[in-house]
Amino acid sequence: MTIQVALVEDEELIRTMLKINLEREGYAVTAYEAAEPFLEEIEQRIFDIILMDIMLPGIHGDSALEKLRKNSITTPVLMLTVKQDTGTKVRAFDAGADDYLPKPFNMDELLARVRALIRRSQGEREIPAHHVIIINSRRVNLETRTVETPHGNEKLSDREAELLAYFARNPGKTLNRSDILDEVWGLDVDPTPRTVDNFVVRFRRLFEDDPEHPKYFITVRAAGYRFEK
């Protein structure tokens, strides 16, 4: 499974350098120049780790992080900053940072810290470290497996929660039925591609205003499905 990294850094040179090095490690990197577009996107999208600069134009990194934690998003966060005073570090940890690295940093050390954070969070749970996503204004808590629909709360099965998490990790991408089966079902059982279709039918009933004309769980002919945020 490809690790999804969010990178929030306003300095172009550092952003580019980090993206190149993280991608070389095999991670999929989505880069943001500011906290605002990142905060908007993470409501509907799952990342495995977030690298965030503190000094950003607009909302600062530590305030952005506080917002995430208030919204029950527990994805590991590595904060970056040029300020090395104790106050800055304390604020970063108080805001909910898991680790902290002052600039200028050594790239090998940064990559090692990223690996450690990913290892730690993945050891704890099968579902990525991000418990709440919002699809069509309906909140999904992946930990309690609850969906708040306009008609009341609905429970997801473990497998449904895993499939939903897989979609949310790969927005906008066409996912083949066989890839979905490999990723979500693995070698556990022997499902048929039809199994995936049945799950998507349920997701459409839960999340679409008109399940006959889906806007979020899109059928890609002769391939599989695409999740749109």
| H-helix or E-strand spanning residue 175 | strand 174-176
Q: How many residues bind Ca ion (CB under 5 A)?
A: 3
Among 58, 67, 18, smallest CA distance to 35 is for 58
d(CA 175, CA 179): 6
Contact flag: residue 55 with Ca ion (CB under 5 A): yes
Q: Judge contact between 56 and 38, C-beta under 8 A.
A: no
Q: Judge contact between 22 and 60, C-beta under 8 A.
A: no
Contact flag: residue 53 with Ca ion (CB under 5 A): yes
181: its two tokens = 């089966």
Please confirm whether the linkage preceding 104 is cis (ω < 30° from 0). Answer: yes
Q: By Cβ distance, which residue is nearest to Ca ion? A: 55
Q: Tell me whether residue 34 or residue 134 sits nearer to Ca ion (CB atom).
A: 34
Of the candidate spans 3-11, 38-46, 152-160, 201-209, the one that interacts with Ca ion by CB under 5 A turns out to be 3-11
d(CA 197, CA 1): 21
Please, what is the minimum distance in Å from the beta carbon of residue 107 to Ca ion?
A: 17
- The site string for Ca ion over 10-49 (x = CB under 5 A, - otherwise) reads x---------------------------------------
Of the candidate spans 50-58, 132-140, 161-169, 178-186, the one that interacts with Ca ion by CB under 5 A turns out to be 50-58
Q: Tell me whether residue 55 or residue 127 sits nearer to Ca ion (CB atom).
A: 55
Contact flag: residue 99 with Ca ion (CB under 5 A): no
Question: How far is residue 13 from each of residues 18, 33, 60, 182, measured CA to CA in Å?
Answer: 9, 11, 19, 37
Of the candidate spans 5-13, 36-44, 119-127, 131-139, the one that interacts with Ca ion by CB under 5 A turns out to be 5-13
Q: Tell me whether residue 48 or residue 53 sits nearer to Ca ion (CB atom).
A: 53
* Interaction site with Ca ion (CB under 5 A): 10, 53, 55
